[in-house]
Structure formats: structure tokens, C-alpha cells
Structure 1
Amino acid sequence: MAWISLVFFVATVAGALSQSLPGGYGETNFVTPYVRQVVFSVKGDIVSRLIDLGIRVYDFEPLFYRGRVAAGTGYLVKIRIDYGQYIHASIFRHLSGSTEVLDIEVGKSLADPLV
């Protein structure tokens, strides 16, 4: 019984530390109004990149995100671009306030985790 308690304690502490360490991504959450604003500030760049890949965007709805703090704020965002079609976008907001799209992963599903 003591081993089970010890394992649970270690797992709990490790999980808490991994979420609070600078540079590590936190848990997946629903998009907040602020994150939505950040995503829409780079929508043109995201849509342009998708068009260059031959992908049409019929919808643009950020759904979930994970964030991290590292000399600015990084966001991994799941965005619905059409019925049943999703992308993952890596977005970075610099301390200066400028925002850039770092990467886009296409062919994602609603069930694909943000990693």
C-alpha cells in the first residue's frame, strides 16, 4: 500500500512540475478570447500557407490550444478549416507584441493531440 501511495505522489509531483516549468507546454484547453485574438492576428498568414499547399479554407475556428512561456508565449492551436478537417498551428507571440506563425501541420483530426 505504501508503494502505491509513493508512486501516486511521485506522479502527481512530476505532473505538476512539468506544467509549471518555463519552456514546457501546459495542458490542452479550450481557446480563450485572448488566444482567439492572437490566432486571428495571423489568420492571413495561415490561410496563405494553406493555399500554397493546395488546401482550401472554408471555415476558420480555433478550438483548443496549449501554451508555453519562453521569452514570449508559444501556442499550439487546433483550428477547424472545414467540416472534419483540422490543422495544428504553432504560433509565437514575442515580448515586443509581434506574432508569427512558426509551423502548420495539416491532415489532423479532432482526436489528434496537440504535441
Structure 2
Amino acid sequence: MKAGGFNAAQAATGEVQNIIEQVRNAVADQIGNVGEYRAHSFQRQVVAGTNYKVKVHIFGDQYIHIKVFVPLPYTQQPPQLSTCETGKTESDPIN
């Protein structure tokens, strides 16, 4: 990982699934039905908190890419949805 940059994409973990579940309603507000909503892969960037770019399977061959900011624990703030991109496929790189 380069300093300040995102690491390479890797398979999603239970931790990442838990993070995206916390912003599920915000995603649904933007795109409507989110169907399956299963984290597929992710990238992480450590800043004053952590940014996650996550490829999420929503149904069939449809995926979305979301960016979520997780504040530092001392702030006691929940994860926040930053962006949501629709029209993605399994083969699209997370960007």
C-alpha cells in the first residue's frame, strides 16, 4: 500500500459486511431496492479514520460500488456513506 492511498482489492470479510450493513438504509435511499446486499471485495485507506471502497452484489449480475468512511472510535460516530455508484458488474475494478 502506498502512503495515504488505498490498498489492493481483497475479498470481503465479515467486518466489511458489518460496516456496509450500517449504511444499507442510506444506500437504499439513493438507489431503491438493494436486494442481496453482500460485500464482494474491498479496498481500505487509513486516514483520520478509515475509508472503504466496497463492491457490493445486489442481485443477479448487478453490483454497486460504495465508499464508506468509518470515523475513529473515540468519536463514537457511525460509518457514513460517501458515494454510491450503480451499473457495475463483478468484473469492474473498484475505483
From the CA coordinates, give the structure whose radius of gyration is larger: 1
The 1-side partners of 2:64 and 2:10 are apart by 16
Residue from 66, 74, 87 that aligns with 1:107: 87
Structure 2 gaps, min length 5: none
The 2-side partners of 1:99 and 1:43 are apart by 11
> Does residue 40 in structure 1 map to residue 21 in structure 2?
yes
Runs of 4+ displaced beyond 3 Å: none
Letter in 1 for 2:57: R
For normalisation by structure 1, the TM-score amounts to: 0.75
Q: Which has the higher helix share?
A: 1
Structure 1 gaps, min length 5: 1-18
Identity %: 27
The 2-side partners of 1:91 and 1:60 are apart by 15
Match of 1:15 in 2: none
> Does residue 73 in structure 1 map to residue 50 in structure 2?
yes
Q: Which structure would you say has the larger RCO, counting Cα contacts within 8 Å and 6 or more residues apart?
A: 2
For normalisation by structure 2, the TM-score amounts to: 0.90
| RMSD of aligned residue pairs (Cα, Å) | 1.1
Shift of 1:48: 1.5
The aligned length equals 92
